[in-house]
Amino acid sequence: MGKLKLRHATKKDAEFVYSMMQNKDFQKHYLERLLYKNVEEARKGLAKLEKQAKRGLVHYFIVNNGTEDIGILDLYKINAQDKKAAIGYGITADKWGKGYGKQVCALGLEIAKKKLKLHTAEATADPENKASIAVLEKNGFKLIGTVEDYYFDRRKFISRTLYYKTL
């Protein structure tokens, strides 16, 4: 496993992001409203994220392993006043179980602490997504608990496991 590289996503990454989100197992743990329905929708969504990144509201990265793009990293809910943000990540299905999730999360935490000068990070996970929960715990996140009815998605309320970390 080579050193991972991050770059801010642009609308040129729409095909990769859309393709990654087509995996049914990936979709199972991701909020439906965040899944792009086609490449054009992905292009528009990434263009919007580019604008938000310029204002410091979000940082949405493409993860590359030196030979190919393998995932996404999202720092969002950035609150400069309280020095905190939320972190999210996704890895292409063919790279699951290879330790990339742990590395990507660690890179996001490093950016949050060193570049954005944040003090805390939070993350939520589908309580059924044992791999993502393991990534968070291996990166030192502490379990706050399961929050019932945290999101309204797929026409129903869904719970999320909430984690928190002091950087």
**Residue-wise pLDDT tens digits, 99-116:** 999 999 999 999 999 999
Q: What local confidence, expressed as pLDDT, does residue 25 receive?
A: 87
- Between 25 and 38, name the one with better pLDDT: 38
Residue 135 scores a pLDDT above 90: yes
Most distant CA atoms of the chain, gap in Å: 41
* 105, two tokens: 């999360």
- DSSP letter, residue 22: T
Averaged pLDDT, 76-99: 96
Question: With contact defined as beta carbons under 8 Å apart, do 111 and 75 qualify?
Answer: yes
Question: With contact defined as beta carbons under 8 Å apart, do 84 and 120 qualify?
Answer: yes
Average pLDDT over the chain reads 95
Q: H-helix or E-strand containing 5?
A: strand 5-8
Q: What local confidence, expressed as pLDDT, does residue 34 receive?
A: 85
Averaged pLDDT, 127-142: 97
Averaged pLDDT, 34-45: 95
Share of the chain above pLDDT 70, in %: 99
Averaged pLDDT, 57-65: 97
d(CA 76, CA 112): 10
What is the SS3 assignment for 50? helix
Averaged pLDDT, 9-25: 95
* 127, two tokens: 């309580």
Question: With contact defined as beta carbons under 8 Å apart, do 53 and 99 qualify?
Answer: no
In sequence order, what E strands does 18-64 have? 59-64
Q: What local confidence, expressed as pLDDT, does residue 1 receive?
A: 60
